[in-house]
Amino acid sequence: MSEQAAPTEQLTKKQLKADHPTWCPACGDFAVLASFFNVVQKLGIPHEKIVCVAGIGCSSRFPYFVNTHGIHFIHGRAVPLATGISLSRPDLHVFVFGGDGDGYSIGGNHLNHAARKNVNLSYVIMDNYVYGLTKNQTSPTTPIGRKSKTDPRGAVDQPINPMAQLVASGATFIARTHAAQVKHMNEMFERAILHPGFAVVETLSECTMFFPGAFDDSTPRKGGTFDLVDEETQDMQSTGAALALAETPAPGKFGVFYETRRPTKNELERAWITDAQAKAADLSEKDLLRQRFAAMR
């Protein structure tokens, strides 16, 4: 959660909604958007303090559909941009939205480093096991054997395990949810937002156009099982226990896998940043650029 003042007014969904989403009918991302509206309203985050940053992809179109500060940025580069905003403006609540391609493929290394640095961000990854926007290529989470435009004979590469990767890289809040399980998704988003530090919610969100049925095995109304983490017995601060959860065979577990408190990069660098900001307070952007170029000579 950002270091924010009390809300000035109660937000409504009407105020938060922007353009009509251009996603395909029944795309899982609609439910993610609805959940975001619900949780932000419930928590009463001041409207002017919300920033939504995204890369490129269907899921990354998210900032267009919310009426907040927002940036639709370069593919895979949402996390470093959001990091800069979060470090320089600790009063803002910075969200990152994107897909499995954006977050685990081209942006995969940024994910690891933001996690180890524990940057104060809430990151929702809408994982549909495919590149949707570019019309059906294999992604880092595509199951072996699935045919796509890049693997017409079926994917042969071992998919990544996002939950294990997040544990190994040091994220301090790691959860897994499902866009068809709205109550659960709301709870996971709320807890991620309230977490001080790098919070990631891996959210299974079906691409009805290119990978329909991808998550039927975890959708009870389609005969699947939605198996929850038992937080009564789970040691929430144990990376070993979280890794064991991450290794649960498909369709895996849902819920919070790991939650711990470690100083954020924002806290650790606060003194430097305020000092640098104070020194630059009277300088124009041109002066700042001149100084920077002079230092590089």
Ligand X SMILES: Cc1ncc(C[n+]2csc(CCOP(=O)(O)OP(=O)(O)O)c2C)c(N)n1
* Cα–Cα distance, 85 to 100 (Å, whole number): 23
Residue 102, binding choice from ligand X, Mg ion, ligand SF4, none, Cβ under 5 to 8 Å by partner class: ligand X
99 binds Mg ion (CB under 5 A): yes
Nearer to ligand X, 109 or 237 (CB): 109
Please count the other Cβ atoms lying within 10 Å of the Cβ belonging to residue 224. Answer: 15
58 binds ligand SF4 (CB under 6 A): yes
129 binds ligand SF4 (CB under 6 A): no
Question: What mask of x and - would describe binding to ligand X in positions 131 to 170, judged by CB under 6 A?
Answer: xxxx----x-------------------------------
* Cα–Cα distance, 180 to 219 (Å, whole number): 7
58 binds ligand X (CB under 6 A): yes
Among candidates 85, 81, 78, which has minimal Cα distance to 55? 78
Q: Which residues contact 168 (CB under 8 A, 6 or more apart)?
A: 239, 243
Compute how many residues bind ligand X; rule: CB under 6 A: 18
Residue 134, binding choice from ligand X, Mg ion, ligand SF4, none, Cβ under 5 to 8 Å by partner class: ligand X
Greatest Cα pair distance, the chain, in angstroms, is: 65
Binding to Mg ion (CB under 5 A) within 127-146 occurs at 128
Binding to ligand SF4 (CB under 6 A) within 132-161 occurs at 132-133
* Cα–Cα distance, 198 to 32 (Å, whole number): 19
Structure tokens at 8: 């000035």
* Cα–Cα distance, 111 to 142 (Å, whole number): 19
Residue 23, binding choice from Mg ion, ligand X, ligand SF4, none, Cβ under 5 to 8 Å by partner class: ligand SF4
Which residues would be at the binding site for ligand SF4 (CB under 6 A)?
23-24, 27, 29, 58, 128, 132-133, 207-210
